[in-house]
Amino acid sequence: QASAEAARAEVQARVDRLSALNQITHGIGSQLHENTVLEVVLGPLHQLYPQQWHGVLFDDAAGGGYLARGEEDLHDLRTRWLAALGPIEQGVLVIDDLLGFMPGSVPGGSLPDEWERFRAALIVPLKVQGRRLGWLVALDKAPGAFDASDAGLFEAVGLQLALAVDNARVHQEAERLAVTDALTGLANRRAVQARVTERDTPVAVIEIDLDGFKEINDVYGHHVGDAVLVETARRIERATRADDLVARLGGDEFLVYLHRSLSRDEAHALATRIAHLIEQPMDVDGRSVSVGASVGTAVGVSSDNQDELLRRADDEMYVDKRARAHQAAAVRPVTP
C-alpha cells in the first residue's frame, strides 16, 4: 500500500513538473519585457514549490547583483559568491546542505551571512552565447530538498529564461532607441508625441531654440556643433528635475515637458534660467564658444490638445527670437 502511494505521488509530481514547464514554455515566448518574463517563470515555480524561495539574481560589472523577483524580501542576496562557483558555469548545481558545502569549496570565499537562513540550494547559471546574465536560484530551509527531477526541471527552465531575458533586453533597447536622440541621449520628437496621460494633471511646456548655432557649424565644423548640442542638453537637464521630459526635437531645437503645476510666470522664469545657463561660454576643443537661446512657454493640463500646447510654446519662442534679433541689430555698430 505504502509503495503504491509513493508511486502515485511520484507520478503526480512528474505531471506537476511537466505542467509547470508547459505553462512556462507557452507563456514565456510572447513576452517582450524583462519583468513580465520573470513573472511568467517564477509564478508557476512558486505554485509548484510553495514552501521554497525562487528568484533571479542578475550579475553586474562589480560581481555583485540585485534581486529581480523572490518570495521573500531578500534584496541583500549577493551574487559575488555565485560568481566564484566554477562548477556551475554550465548546467545546474544542487547543494544538499549549504552550511556543509562552502568551507574550503570556494577559494577565498565563505558562505555570505544572508544565505545562512537556507540549507538547500539549486542554482542554474543563465548564459547566452557565452555571456552570463545571472542565475536562477531556488532555496529551501530544509537540507536535501532538491532531487534530480527538480534539477532537470530548473535546468530546462533556465535555458528558456536566459534566452527570453536576452530577447527582452534587445527589444527594450530597440524601444529605447526609437524614442531617443542618438546624439544627445535625450528623448526625441516621437517620445514627446507619446507623452500622453489619461488624468487631468497640470503640465507646462518650454521650447528652446539656439541662436547663432549655424555660424558655429560653418566656422568650426560639425564636430564642434555636435559638442555644443550635447553640452546644451546637459545644461537643460541640470536646470530641470529628473521626472521632467527633456527632448531634442531636431537640429538645434529642444523642449522641456513638465508634469507639474506652474503658473505662466513660473514657467517663464524657469525658461529664462535655462536660457541663461545655455548662454554661458562653452569650452570645446580648447576654444570658447557661445550660443544664444530663444524660449517660449505654454501651461495647461494633460487633457488639453497637446499639439495646441506645443504650438503656443513655439509661437512664443519665435516672438522671443525676433525680439532678440531686433535687439541685436539695434546695438550692432554701423559701418561708415
Q: Which residue has the cell 513660473?
A: 266
Phi, psi torsion values for 232, nearest 5 degrees: -60, -45
| DSSP conformational letter for 291 | -
Query: DSSP letter at 334?
Result: P
SS3 for 99? helix
State how far the alpha carbon of 15 is from the alpha carbons of 38, 186, 237, 271, in Å.
Answer: 23, 51, 56, 65
DSSP symbol at 132:
E
- Which is catalytic among the residues 59, 211, 252, 320? 252
Helix (H) or strand (E) holding 57: strand 53-59
Three-class SS state of 179: coil
Give the whole-angstrom CA distance, residue 196 versus residue 193: 8
Q: Tell which residue, 239, 242, 65, 206, has the closest CA to residue 136.
A: 65
Quote the CA–CA distance of 228 and 280 in Å, as a whole number. Answer: 11
Q: Is 252 a catalytic residue?
A: yes
CA distance 313 to 204: 9
- Continuous segment of H or E residues that includes residue 331: helix 306-331
Euclidean distance between CA atoms 126 and 156, whole angstroms: 11
**Residues forming the active site:** 252
